[in-house]
Structure 1
């Protein structure tokens, strides 16, 4: 991945992840966060694990990002875009599993 590609991934990630690391961590500690998402055999959902990884990535300096970090950033962008395209529920989006799943991935769809 060249420097232009990396910049593009960082820009897309910054746009998709609209929650601060502390806000993500706080949400990940909630019961709403823990009960949504696809579980891969263990107790933690894929999105919950992703949220922890997003916090790590957001706290790194740009020069410390690894190829694995960039791959995860691309995965996050794809997830957020796909789920936003599906649209949220017509009523009570604030308390929906759709919103909570997105928040596990660092995106609050109700945030301006």
Structure 2
């Protein structure tokens, strides 16, 4: 893949303000039910698992599918949030949906 554009790389890492460990733990928590718990590689929403995979890769190892995931996440977070991404309290379901994308609205974004 040709090198990923700096703007997308930087914006993805700005809006995804959870570490890979935090996201992994959240996806496992979100995927756990009262009776069962999903396998670690199947926990959480598919897009969240894709974000986790991107976070675990080096930039030079990203492919076109990873770039599409990054663009989708940036677009979705911006659609749900203001551009400044200041920490914001909201409904639990809204926060959990964003956390499944790697963005915790209560956490400051990385500069």
> For this structure pair, what is the TM-score category when the shorter chain's length is used for normalisation?
0.7 to 0.9
Correspondence for 2:28: 29
Q: Who is 2:94 aligned against?
A: 98
Q: Does 1:9 align with 2:8?
A: yes
Task: Let me know the Cα RMSD of the aligned residues.
Answer: 2.5
Q: Which is richer in helix?
A: 1
| Deviations, residues 19-72 of structure 1 (Å, cap 9, x unaligned) | 001100111111xx349xxxxxxxx8xx71111111111111111100111111
Question: Following the alignment from structure 2 to structure 1, what is the Cα–Cα distance between the partners of residues 55 and 78?
Answer: 19
Segments of structure 2 that go 5 or more residues without pairing to the other structure are 33-41, 83-88
In structure 1, how many angstroms separate the alpha carbons of the residues matched to 2:45 and 2:77? 14
Superposition TM-score, scaled by structure 1 size: 0.72
Unaligned runs of 5+ in 1: 36-43, 86-91
Secondary structure class of the residue paired with 2:103: coil
**Distance (Å, rounded) in 1 between the aligned partners of 2:2 and 2:56:** 22
Find runs of 4+ consecutive structure 1 residues off by over 4 angstroms: none
> Shift of the alpha carbon at 1:2?
5.9
